[in-house]
Amino acid sequence: MNLRILILDKDLSLYNLVKNFSLIQKGSVYFSDTRGNLYSFIRNNDINVIITELEHNPVDAAFFLQDIKAFDPILEVILLGNPLDSEEVLNLIRKGATDYLEKPLKEKELEKILKKIKDKRKLRKKTFRLETELEKKYSFQGMVGKSPFMLEIFNLIEKIAPYFKSVLISGEAGSGKELAAQALYKKSPAQNNFLVFDCVSVPGSLFEPELFGYKKGAFKGAERNHKGLFEKADQGVIYLDEVSEMPLSFQSKLAQVLKEQKIKPLGAEEEQNLNVRVIASTTRDLKEHVNKGKFKKELYHQLNNVEIHIPPLRMRAEDIPLLVRHFLKHFNQKYKKNIKGVSQRVQKFFHNYEWTGNVKELKDVIEIAVEVSDKDFIDMEGLPQYFQESLARPKKIPFIRREELSTMDALEKEYIVYLLKITDSNMTQTAKTLGISRSTLYNKIEKYHIPH
């Protein structure tokens, strides 16, 4: 696994030194004397490692490191310079430097660092392969998850699929209820279609003709026979999405059909026997709706032979990495990209985010990020704008206690420390929240001796 190294310097002396080291592969070292068009150069030449001299001003070096990591979180940056104390070196590493070497550059020291980088890349490749295998292991009929919640759901679907006549699937919007319904269908012996009926978008007067059908002349405008969804789904499955929105006036008729497995189209004289499996979904508490008279008790009992509850994504955060990889694979194919993953900052943010839109929101976020990204890894800057706003939004300050308030400087220092903590040391977001420039923020950090 050869590394491709860029020497970023004002002259060729460092480039000539490095390219002649015995450990360096021929043709693997590149040179640039400017930061202009740096990112396109890195991308076009598939650069893995940058070696550059430390700027005289550490603030400039910190800006450079932050910009590089925003562009590509896994790009390695080796800094060279005059001797520094251990705390100064540690600070540069916190900013994103891979390591710091004193001038003049020694071949053995560089070899040691490059070997670590190679080992890290091998481990990353192995981890990627293992995660891909895990995704296969924890995939079930289009659903992905390894949390106890999801494994229990997979097991329940496996057990009931051959036998169910009706199932109720509950859960918040976007949690994956239709995927669970499709998994039930795929594992069942149903021989016909999986047909979806959206109870929200259909006017109340059309429920009966759309589901049960009608004969020519049954009502004004019925100029031909029309097969209802139940007849079309004979020997198959009907999925009633958001069944709680079904008109009360129709619910008793549907309960009777589910009980007897017979329908009578509008205008027909005889009933038709059917063999239809019904899966209904709801975001509401149907039992509470029954108690309030908003849902028919008899229909609830017909549908609720078995209930599958899909927990919200915030309750199964261990599923997020698998879902991210699953969606990345899908959208890489769709947009002809080769994005390898998300950065550690994004992983941490995803883990702590509320996901009010559940799996659907995560899927949409990954699609947007893949569509607009031109990097190997997705970082925070590649996520939709509302994520940036949620990071920048000032939050309640739990650390302030009146008895500890002293000077304005002390208060400002505490607030900066707090913001650096909640933004994971993101200088841009912290400066934006404070309403100051990044250089001003760095000056304040130096003034208050804040570790970062």
Q: Domain of residue 326: give its range.
A: 314-392
Helices (H), 58-202: 58-71, 86-95, 107-137, 148-160, 177-187
CATH assignment at residue 11:
3.40.50.2300
Q: Is 140 among the domain residues?
A: no
pLDDT at residue 64 in the model: 83
Q: What gap in Å lies between CA 323 and CA 135, rounded to an integer? A: 8
Question: By mean pLDDT, which of 140-149, 163-172, 291-300, 442-451 is the weakest?
Answer: 442-451
Q: Is 252 among the domain residues?
A: yes
Q: Is 356 among the domain residues?
A: yes
pLDDT at residue 246 in the model: 95
Mean pLDDT (whole number) for 237-251: 95
Q: Is 397 among the domain residues?
A: no
CATH assignment at residue 330:
1.10.8.60
Q: Are residues 155 and 195 in the same domain?
A: yes
Mean pLDDT (whole number) for 370-386: 85
Q: Among the three residues 74, 105, 134, which one is the final residue of a domain in this structure?
A: 134
The mean of the pLDDT values for the chain is: 85
Count of residues making up the chain: 452
Q: Are residues 227 and 340 in the same domain?
A: no
The dihedrals phi and psi of 37, each to the nearest 5 degrees, come to 60, 25
Cis peptide before 265 (omega within 30 of 0): no
Q: Are residues 341 and 264 in the same domain?
A: no
Q: What gap in Å lies between CA 409 and CA 411, rounded to an integer? A: 5
Q: What gap in Å lies between CA 374 and CA 271, rounded to an integer? A: 60
CATH assignment at residue 426:
1.10.10.60
Question: By mean pLDDT, which of 26-35, 59-68, 246-255 is the weakest?
Answer: 59-68
Q: How many domains does the chain have?
A: 4
Residue with tokens 């939709």: 384
Q: Are residues 274 and 366 in the same domain?
A: no
Q: Is 101 among the domain residues?
A: yes
Residue range 414-429, pLDDT digits in tens: 888 878 877 767 787 7
Instruction: State the Rg of the chain over Cα.
Output: 30
pLDDT at residue 233 in the model: 93
Q: Are residues 278 and 240 in the same domain?
A: yes
Residue 452: pLDDT band by 50, 70, 90 thresholds?
low
Q: Are residues 272 and 368 in the same domain?
A: no
Q: Are residues 242 and 274 in the same domain?
A: yes
Q: What gap in Å lies between CA 64 and CA 54, rounded to an integer? A: 10
Q: Are residues 235 and 338 in the same domain?
A: no
Q: Are residues 23 and 113 in the same domain?
A: yes
Mean pLDDT (whole number) for 318-332: 92
Q: Is 160 among the domain residues?
A: yes
Q: Are residues 304 and 321 in the same domain?
A: no
Q: Is 122 among the domain residues?
A: yes
Residue 401: pLDDT band by 50, 70, 90 thresholds?
very low
Q: What gap in Å lies between CA 345 and CA 381, rounded to an integer? A: 10
Q: Are residues 53 and 116 in the same domain?
A: yes
pLDDT at residue 402 in the model: 47
Q: What is the dihedral of CA 339, 345, 346, 351, to 10 degrees?
A: 140
CATH assignment at residue 298:
3.40.50.300
The encoded tokens of residue 296 equal 């028919």
- Please determine, for residue 35, whether its predicted confidence score (pLDDT) is greater than 80: no
Mean pLDDT (whole number) for 295-311: 94
Residue 296: pLDDT band by 50, 70, 90 thresholds?
very high
Q: Which residue has the higher pLDDT, 408 or 337?
A: 337
Residue with tokens 């229990």: 152
Q: What gap in Å lies between CA 45 and CA 38, rounded to an integer? A: 11
Residue 445: pLDDT band by 50, 70, 90 thresholds?
confident
Q: Residue 324 class from Cβ within 10 Å (0-12 exposed, 13-18 middle, 19+ buried)? A: buried
DSSP letters spanning 261-322? TEE--BT-SS-EE---EEEEEESS-HHHHHHTTSS-HHHHHHHTTSEEEE--GGG-GGGHHH
Q: Which residue has the higher pLDDT, 452 or 283?
A: 283
Q: Is 139 among the domain residues?
A: no
Residues with Cβ within 8 Å of residue 220, at least 6 apart in sequence: none
Q: Among the three residues 113, 134, 155, which one is the final residue of a domain in this structure?
A: 134
Q: Are residues 244 and 334 in the same domain?
A: no
pLDDT at residue 365 in the model: 93
pLDDT at residue 393 in the model: 54
Residue 234: pLDDT band by 50, 70, 90 thresholds?
very high
Q: Among the three residues 311, 345, 370, which one is the final residue of a domain in this structure?
A: 311
Residue 69: pLDDT band by 50, 70, 90 thresholds?
confident
